[in-house]
Amino acid sequence: MSLTQTIQEEIADNLDKRRFEITNLHRVLLNYTGKPLESTALRMAIPLLYANWEGYVREVCQLYLEYIESTGVQVRNLKPGLLGYLWTPALKPLIGGLDFEKKKIIAELALNCMENSVHFEDSERAINTKSNLNFDVLKNISNHLCLETTTLEPWKQHLNALVNIRNNIAHGSILTALKYYFFEEHASSLISLMEEFEKVIIQTLENNGFCKNTTKI
């Protein structure tokens, strides 16, 4: 099995686990539908639904970065967006104006590491979702990782609505009007979004979309 096939299988397995967890949430909620504790059960289930979404994005993006490392691609061959992401730990201390020493550090960084194989620091592997993975945050992560988000746009409204309701629950709001159909609708939408995000990552891997056009791996 090729390296690409292995990573594709791991990403697909991750999505299968999310589907299973969400199916179990459905089963639990059905026991309370139409009963006094329906709203309470939903307030418990919606944060778990969101957690599966955030966990999925974090883990498949980590697999994506691990794949890039495993190809042995050199730093000089990365697209600018991903190169900037790779250099984030080195560039963060330089914020606040560029004096001579800071400019020198940037120049040395550029000159000394271009022939090195790509290696991401743990802080960049962690994937910062800001614990609030709405569409804007997803787009920001994707831009840094050179993942195209155009095909994800149809899910923007549903995703933002889910994150908003989850935030309200997390902040202690008592949402008594919640019904099972709300969970059903957003669970279905979220699975479709995860499926599309998987396609985006797989296509990027297959096309070496994280590399400059002239690069072959």
- Report pLDDT digits (tens) over 65-75: 999 999 999 98
**For range 162-184, the mean pLDDT:** 88
Number of domains in the chain: 1
Q: Is residue 215 part of a domain?
A: no
Torsion of Cα atoms, 159 then 123 then 209 then 15, to 10°: -50
Confidence class for position 214, pLDDT limits 50, 70, 90: low
Q: CA nearest 135: which of 153, 117, 123?
A: 153
Q: Cα(204)–Cα(138) distance, rounded to whole angstroms? A: 16
**Residue 217 placed within a domain:** no
Asked whether residue 136 is assigned to any structural domain, the reply reads yes
- For residue 36, what are the CA distances in angstroms to 16, 39, 41, 206? 32, 7, 10, 50
End-to-end CA distance of the chain: give it in Å, rounded. Answer: 17
- Residue 136: give the domain boundaries: 3-206
Tell me if 212 is assigned to some domain. no
Query: Is 146 a member of any domain?
Result: yes
**Percent with pLDDT over 90 in the chain:** 70
Give dist(CA 217, CA 2) in Å, integer.
13
Which tens digit of pLDDT belongs to each residue from 96-142?
666 677 667 676 776 667 888 899 998 888 999 999 999 999 999 99
- Its pTM stands at 0.89
